[in-house]
Amino acid sequence: MASPVLSRGAGPLFPPHPFHKPSGWRGLLRRMGILRPLKAAREMSMIEIVAEKREEAAAREALLDLCLPERFEKASERIREDRLPAEGLALAAHGPDGRLAATVRLWHVSAGPARPALLLGPLAVHPWFRDRGLGGQMMRAALERAEALGHDAVLLVGDAPYYARFGFSAQKTSGLWMPGPFDPARLLGLELKPGALDGARGLISPTGLPAEKPSLDALIAATAKRSA
């Protein structure tokens, strides 16, 4: 069954070869830079944001390696590792060719004792789609979905000026800390329900379901299949 479309708005992951120069009037307009904005707008209109499929894990990790190779050094990774994302909150954006253009996931955490929340991240957008608004579309789709599912609050570690446009601030996160080194000015929160982060204090800790680890036999079988 096809994944339900959560949002629309961006375009294909791999463009035509950049050195291909059409002849005639199209080539002239392209060299003048006139067709480029039209092509970008058309591509953006064809993006689909949907629930991530299990078989997309390898493509997602490859995109994260490309965009965020240092992510395993972050304190937030200590919260995400060996955990499953919150149900319904692993999102992927695809171009019309079906290839992955962006990813974002949210994770169950406790924002101090007995205070359920979500941790958002990492958010990654393929370089081809940078500065086209796809990151913002992913954020809005994720937050709308989290609110629709009844979650109380969302936390993230990121650039305050960028995430302020989505309602995030450090106003109610000063009493929280991460399981590792972090910049308090970059620990941001958004209440999906008023007062959800009032008085929040304590360690942000994972509460999501543990991820299933493949058995040694399964890994050996998968390696043998690839080598065949």
Beta strand extents in the chain (DSSP E only): 5-8, 48-51, 90-94, 100-111, 116-120, 124-125, 153-157, 176-177, 187-191, 202-206
Q: How far is CA 207 from the centre of its chain?
A: 19
Neighbours of 59 (CB within 10 A): 17
Sequence ranges of the domains in the chain: 5-227
- Per-position DSSP letters for 151-186, written without gaps between them: --EEEEES-HHHHGGGT-BSTT-TTEE-SS---GGG
Check pLDDT > 70 for residue 203. Answer: yes
pLDDT per position as a tens digit, 160-192? 999 999 999 999 999 999 999 999 999 999 999
- pLDDT mean over 112-139: 94
pTM score of the predicted model? 0.76
**pLDDT band for position 20 (50/70/90)?**
very low
Q: Does domain 5-227 have CATH number 2.60.40.10?
A: no
The mean-pLDDT minimum among 1-15, 87-101, 181-195 falls in 1-15
- Residue 18 DSSP class: T
Length of the chain: 228
pLDDT of residue 98: 82
